[in-house]
A and B are shown apart, each in its own frame.
Chain A
Amino acid sequence: DTGVSQDPRHKITKRGQNVTFRCDPISEHNRLYWYRQTLGQGPEFLTYFQNEAQLEKSRLLSDRFSAERPKGSFSTLEIQRTEQGDSAMYLCASSLVGVGNQPQHFGDGTRLSIL
């Protein structure tokens, strides 16, 4: 079990630029979740995938955000035209649904700083 891997760990960019993050879940996990954590707060749900299908998006996920999981394995989260308010830790989690009551396993996150 190699765990959930996220890349990059840190991203600093200027306001208005586009950024893309990658998440590699635990290999046999069919569910993949994205959360956002701002300073001093708990993580908040953004979106999730069951295999390659994106099944729910939070109201937090504005039109500037898009997520994909093209082959049901890794996922990418893209933010277009970044704003100061996008500065946060973006966390990815994966789980196996359909076999008991499995918890979500988290990666170490990507910390985004907007200048």
Chain B
Amino acid sequence: AQSVTQLDSHVSVSEGTPVLLRCNYSSSYSPSLFWYVQHPNKGLQLLLKYTSAATLVKGINGFEAEFKKSETSFHLTKPSAHMSDAAEYFCVVRDGGATNKLIFGTGTLLAVQP
């Protein structure tokens, strides 16, 4: 079975400093991985996706993630945090087979201090 583990439930950074949100995955084959962001009382917005093309994936709003097979990791980074980045972030793996359902991690709540 496929799964993702988000290693931090809360991360706090200062505005202008780098962001690192950690995610490890478990998959019996080459996975499709995503990062979604959720602002309060809103749905999920896709930040970026990895589908076995390039291992370094660039997303919206300056975010990027690197797929590392040897470490089974897919960490999300951003060089400089902005106040508007404060939200919950979910690492997601797509289930194989016909369903294509998404399997979510438990989320990381990012706080950005002024």
Using a CB–CB distance below 8 Å, which chain A residues touch chain B?
4, 6, 31, 33, 35, 40-45, 48, 55-56, 91, 93, 95, 97, 101, 103-109, 111
Contacts and interface: CB of A to CB of B under 8 A. Distances in A.
B7 interface: no
A41 B106 CA distance: 5
Interface of B: 32, 34, 36, 41-46, 49, 51, 90, 92, 98-107
Contacts, number: 58
Please classify the interface of chain A as helix (H, G, I), strand (E, B), loop, or mixed, using the class held by over half of its residues: strand
B30 to A, nearest CB: 12
B32 A41 contact: no
A55 to B, nearest CB: 7
Given A101-B51, A103-B46, A45 B98 contact: no
Nearest to A91: B43
Contacts of A55: 98-99
Contact of B99 (A4, A56, A105, A106): A56
